[in-house]
Structure 1
């Protein structure tokens, strides 16, 4: 395919303990806030679109622009139902690059019924762009400002999932004649809400995704704004991969009983390192069994390794013969995971079927799946007031703190400490649908 413009070479992804060259971010907001258009503008103005893609959306039958103007939202709204209705339904992932960084974007739906899709996209994100449509924010004559519930819901989910950077993109500034007063009032109200829920790193920016103001180029219609453009801000965000500094965590995915075509006495434990690092000779503990083991060898596609780090998929060989199977955890002997029979967690309920506390669910945690039952709802979070209150049930999009009993012990960490071993999902044992996403809280 012929690209509209040549892609620039990328800078190195960084050292083992340094900055990551890749930034994963999501867009979130209410319906028709301009999320898909914003991403389309980012791709278009940064020359991240191929010529045949551009030709395709120019001919699209569901185009919502006049004349020859390109409907940039169609770059991410790829489903026929999305283009027909003018909404985003599924999570759309797109890749693009600049000379300074490479990016993976997740365009998530704005409809409340698709909040589950937003949770999916946010679970691996380093940053979130919360879009606020100036035409929908209620500005009272008394100075009051009322943000949309979806803005609050998505911001709350971003905080629960531990997303480090929050960009507040006040969009459609062209509809209010680029009025600085309107922008300042919205930003002040959002900062109050962010402080209330505990969001720390908030970056506001005024823009017009449709016109391209402050997306890639600054333009001259908002001279009162002296901050960076959106792309400059995304390029500058610090993303440090803390996984290398955490205690070693290796969920066993598969037990290998042969080494290629060799018929020898081989037993290797295969999986992906979720946190920390491991060396030959390291002492580990098998969880939940508790046996002590020693690393004999570390195998990878490239052969034997002396050390392996978080993110690598490897096979571990041990000096000892012990009973280890899929779902077990190999952890640092001096810093093992917690072993939980009762899990305290915050959950986002993702199913249209309400929680039934009489039923069993499957709890999927790393490579382990166990039978579980929700035994109590401690508090339900009110998105608008951020107050927590008692509840006797959960329905679609509810966020609550719950207690879950599991049939077998889980080797887990607090979500705030290690994301990979602090996250889980609940699965309906009859329909096999994911009904909830959870973040383990210890203490």
Structure 2
């Protein structure tokens, strides 16, 4: 393998091994590599929603203070390499190829043992650990892939464990109740390592509290040990006050939309102010405010075109994500009419997902996308209880048709699976889709 494309093709070929929860394959690979996961300083981030945004807030504040920051996130939106980044820059072709050449023989050797072949995600995680051990950033922000307890990232010992939220997603793997899902997320909690929780549901909080106590891990719980208050907002930005025992910010400003983003930013502020208090990092008040204000996160209520036609993409792919989307629209865009183009994976219950919009005048077009787990748009249409609905199998045609007829007082929200959002974003970027098709184009 000499090119990034060859490495990515090889990694994707491991997708057939699916999801195999457990840490033994990771431990075998990392032991053979000389334990690169022990050579970096980590913050470990789990949660149903908000992981990526919280990582972005953390990174921007730390970078504003001069720290070098590694990030491991999933899935990718623009390019595969962004999953492993240093100071916001994706891993280079040289480093990706170098790491893959080192790890591929181990993957092939492991496949011959009783443990079996590592999965796609396990290999990506191993590449990330190896890359960060070599590049030596000051801090690595490591996002959990799925769950926590048995996730392939859960071989590290961090300086802080973060659980952003608990919600209804991946229930076929993590469990069918919030308590079961919380137990899996709480699996990242380590002995004597502080835990920052943004979890709101009391039954999920109790699980996290119980595990934290068992591990002698100091717990910092939102609405108890830290909190925020939204103070003012418009279509461009929102302001809030943050308060904890370590930090008070009277007027933090976000360009990210929705109150859930104030929540995510507050989780990040709690993490950072705690680590500052423990003298593990050094931050000034301006680092917090500047970093928070400059943060953006592609694919998360991202405004692609702000004048006519007004177009937003948002990777709201579970119940909590779509509830947050509804609240963002109603609170920050109350005078606009809403048109949706919507695509999700087939394990989702379309009526539970769209329940927040049952009382809203919403016109929705269901579509598909090129992914093996993508739901059939005609099936979504038939099952949906929405009254103003239609379907189109080809998502290019679906989006193009709505853009052409979108009125000046309407906004198009393209939402659903992050895999779908990734494809849509690329199509606008490379000219396959155009804002100029709209008669009100400005």
Interval of TM-score (by shorter of Structure 1 and Structure 2): under 0.3
RCO greater where, 1 or 2, for CA within 8 Å and sep 6 or more?
Answer: 2
* TM-score, length of structure 1 as denominator length: 0.27
Q: Which has the higher helix share?
A: 2
Q: Which has the higher strand share?
A: 1
* TM-score, length of structure 2 as denominator length: 0.27
Structure index of larger Rg: 1
